[in-house]
Amino acid sequence: MSAVGSARGWRMVRVAVVGSGIGGLSAAIALRARGFQVDVYDQAGELSEIGAGVSLGGNGMRVLDALGLGKAVRDVSANLHRIEFHHWLSGDIFYEHPMGAWYEQRFGGPFLGIHRADFHHILISAYDGEPHLGRRCVAVHESPDGVELEFADGSAAGADVVVGADGLRSAVRTHVDRSDEAVFSAMSCFRGLVPVDRVPGGDTFGLTFFLGPNRHLVAYPVRGGELINFVAYVPDPEWTLESWSARCAPEEAVAAFEGWSPVVTALLASSEETGRWALYDREPLRNWSTGRVTLLGDAAHPMLPHAGQGTNQAIEDAAALAAYLSNPQLSVSEALRSYEHLRKARTRQIQLGSRANATCFQVPDGPPADERNARLRNLPQMVGWIHEYDVYAAMATGSEA
C-alpha cells in the first residue's frame, strides 16, 4: 500500500478507476505497481472482444516496457516496417519512409499494430483481478475525506481518489467540468479486419494510407501479420451513431469508395464484419481535476484518430498519474494538479493536430494534393516530437510538452 502524501498527513490511498478500456487498465496496472489498492469499475456486463486494431508508437511502448508488458505486446503484434502513402485511384506510392529498425533507433521503441482484443487480454492478465462489471457510474459525490461513486444499479463504492477513464461521454467528466458537449466531426469511418491472404499485396503492408478527395483509408497488419486492420473515413453528417458495436454491410463501405484502387475495394469487400463509427471529439478542457477526482485518456482529451495517438496518450497519462500520486511529498490534490499540468499542453496539441490531419488527408487532386505531398517529405521531422516523447524524462525535468 502506498502512503501517498504522508508528509501532508495523508494515509493509505484507495483508487477507483472508472472504465476498463486500455487507458483505465493501464492506469490500474501502473498504480498497483506502485503499491496502491485499485478497483476498476465498468458499465459493460461482460468483457467482449472488439474487432479493431490500434497502433502503438515508441512513446507508448516506453511505458509498456517499464510496466513489464513490452514482450507480451510484441509477441502478438505486427511490426509496421514502413509507412507508405498511395494515390486513391492509381494506387501508386507517392511517399514512403522506412519504419522498423529505423523507427526503433530514432524513437526508442517499435511501431506496432495490435488487435485491440489481444491488447486488452494482456492488460486484464497483468491487472490480475476482475473488474467490477455491470457498474455504470451515474454520479460522483466528493467530500474533503473521500469520494463515493454511485452506480445505475443502486450500488455505491468509496475511494480516496477516482480516475475517470470512461471515454468520450464520461460520467466522471461531468463531475469535473460540465461546460462542453461532444463535437461531431461530420465524418464516420468503416472498420474491419481481413485475413491477409484476401488482400492484394497484403503481406507487404506496413502502415498504409490511400488518400483521395473527401475520403481516405488507413490499413496495417495486426496479430503477427495474420490480419489486416482497416479504417476507411468518409464525410457523412447523417451518420451520428458513435458505437464500437454498430455494424453495416460491407457493400456500404465498397459503395462509399466506388472508383478507388482495386486494392481498396477488395480490402473493403473482404471484411466479414464491418463496423461503422461516427467520429467525435471535444474541445480541450480547462481543468481535468478536482481535489480527489481526475480524468484520463478519452475522458480527458478525446481526439480524432487521424494522428494514431489516442491509445498512446492514454498510456502516457497512466504512467504520469501513477508517478505523481506515489510522490510522498505531494498531497492528493497537488499530485492531481501536477499530473494535469504535465499532460494538458501535450494532449491539447495532439487533439488539435488530429483534427487538422483529416483535412490534410482528404484534399482533391491537383495543386492541393501536390502541396500536401510535398509537406509529407518532412513527415519524420513533423511528428518526431510526438513519438520521441519520454513521459518519465518529462516528469524528471518538469517539461509540459
339 belongs to the catalytic site: no
Q: 139 burial class (0-12, 13-18, 19+ CB within 10 angstroms)?
A: middle
Judge contact between 334 and 292, C-beta under 8 A: no
Q: Long-range contacts made by residues 239-243, C-beta under 8 angstroms, separation at least 24?
A: 239/188, 239/276, 239/278, 240/184, 240/278, 241/276, 241/277, 241/278, 242/168, 242/182, 242/277, 242/278, 242/279, 242/280, 243/277
Residues 219-230 as b/e (b if ≥16 CB within 10 A, e otherwise) read bbbbbbbebbbb
Q: Which residue is associated with the grid cell 495474420?
A: 226
- Quick count: other Cβ atoms within 10 Å of Cβ 356? 12
- The catalytic position among 41, 103, 127, 220 is 220
Instruction: Choose among 298, 302, 168, 279: nearest CA to 216.
Output: 279
Instruction: Choose among 300, 37, 7: nearest CA to 159.
Output: 37
- Give the contacts of 397 (CB within 8 A, at least 6 positions apart): none
Cα separation, 282 vs 175, whole angstroms: 16
229: region left, alpha or beta (phi > 0 left; psi from -120 to 50 alpha): beta
The residues pairing with 163 across neighbouring beta strands, listed in sequence order, are 17, 294
Judge contact between 55 and 119, C-beta under 8 A: no
- Please state the φ and ψ torsions of residue 34, each to the nearest 5 degrees: -100, 10
Judge contact between 33 and 322, C-beta under 8 A: yes
Judge contact between 24 and 133, C-beta under 8 A: no
**Sign of the CA dihedral with 153 first, then 154, 155, and 161 last:** positive
Residues 322-333 as b/e (b if ≥16 CB within 10 A, e otherwise) read bbbbbbeebbbb
Q: Which residues are catalytic?
A: 220
